[in-house]
Amino acid sequence: MLGWLLGAAAAFYLLFLVITLVLRRMPAPIGENADLFVSAAQMTLYLTLASGVIGLGVGVLMGLARTSAFPPLRWLGGIYVWLIRGTPLLLQILFAYNALPLIFQALHIPVQLNDYWSAVLALALNVGAYNAEVIRAGIQAVPRGQTEAARSLGLSGGQTMQSVVLPQAMRIVVPPLVNNLVALLKDSSLASVIGILELVNQGGRIASSSFQFVPVYVTLGAVYLALTTVLTLFTDVLEKRVRVAGR
């Protein structure tokens, strides 16, 4: 796993170097703003990774809650998924940035969210709801006989879930979780609404100042394709490793 992480980090580092070299050779307004495009692409990746990791943790917790034998936990998980999946991500980002600090202030909670962490929180909670449903389905896909066999050996419910059910479920759900991560990378563009200089926001500023919308938007599309291609490449490798480990 460590080698996979180091390989992914090296691949993205090289990708940003290649993007920089290519864009600098492009005519105006692309070449003269190549570094701005790259820094915005890095911000997009940071948003994706931070919210993706947090969203995975949220998804696991809420997925377990959705399959819990304790009704209040099931209701909590169900309400969370219903609320997040039933409202637009754009609204959630605006709520986290504009409304949540006021709620914290009214409740005397000493937490301050800047624009970056507001976006990360909203994106993480959003993808966490979709991850929760994926993990719930994965848990329910594990044959019931596995649970019965573990309990007959004297394992508690928690031990059975931790040692038997959840490892098998996570192998099952890797592909849809990967799809959620790729979708998250593209959804991070909505963070532009609160002023974060990710790709779409930066591209919009360059296009507005130069009035050359076609080359700027084509460049944005190409950079997004490069990011998603490298991300998909390494997540495909992860899927293969998980399948081999599960045999």
> Where do the domains of the chain lie?
37-215
pTM score: 0.92
In three-state form (DSSP H/G/I as H, E/B as E, the rest C), the secondary structure along the chain is: CHHHHHHHHHHHHHHHHHHHHHHHCCCCCCHHHHHHHHHHHHHHHHHHHHHHHHHHHHHHHHHHHHCCCCHHHHHHHHHHHHHHHCCCHHHHHHHHHHHHHHHHHHCCCCCCCCHHHHHHHHHHHHHHHHHHHHHHHHHHHCCHHHHHHHHHCCCCHHHHHHHHHHHHHHHHHHHHHHHHHHHHHHHHHHHHHHCCCCHHHHHHHHHHHHCCHHHHHHHHHHHHHHHHHHHHHHHHHHHHHHHHHCC
Confidence at residue 226, expressed as pLDDT on a 0 to 100 scale: 95
Confidence at residue 162, expressed as pLDDT on a 0 to 100 scale: 76
Q: Tell me the average confidence (pLDDT) per consecutive run of 10 residues in the chain, 247 residues long.
A: 76 93 94 96 96 96 91 95 97 96 91 93 97 93 79 76 79 88 95 95 95 96 95 80 60
Q: 2.60.40.10, 1.10.3720.10, 2.160.10.10, 3.50.50.60: which CATH number matches 37-215?
A: 1.10.3720.10
Confidence at residue 156, expressed as pLDDT on a 0 to 100 scale: 76
Report the distance separating Cα 96 and Cα 93, nearest Å.
Answer: 5
Confidence at residue 3, expressed as pLDDT on a 0 to 100 scale: 72
In order of 1, 62, 79, 86, 212, the CA distances from 82 in angstroms are 34, 12, 5, 6, 42
Q: Give yes or no for a cis peptide into 29 (omega within 30° of 0).
A: yes
Confidence at residue 165, expressed as pLDDT on a 0 to 100 scale: 80
Confidence at residue 2, expressed as pLDDT on a 0 to 100 scale: 67
Confidence at residue 147, expressed as pLDDT on a 0 to 100 scale: 75
Confidence at residue 163, expressed as pLDDT on a 0 to 100 scale: 76
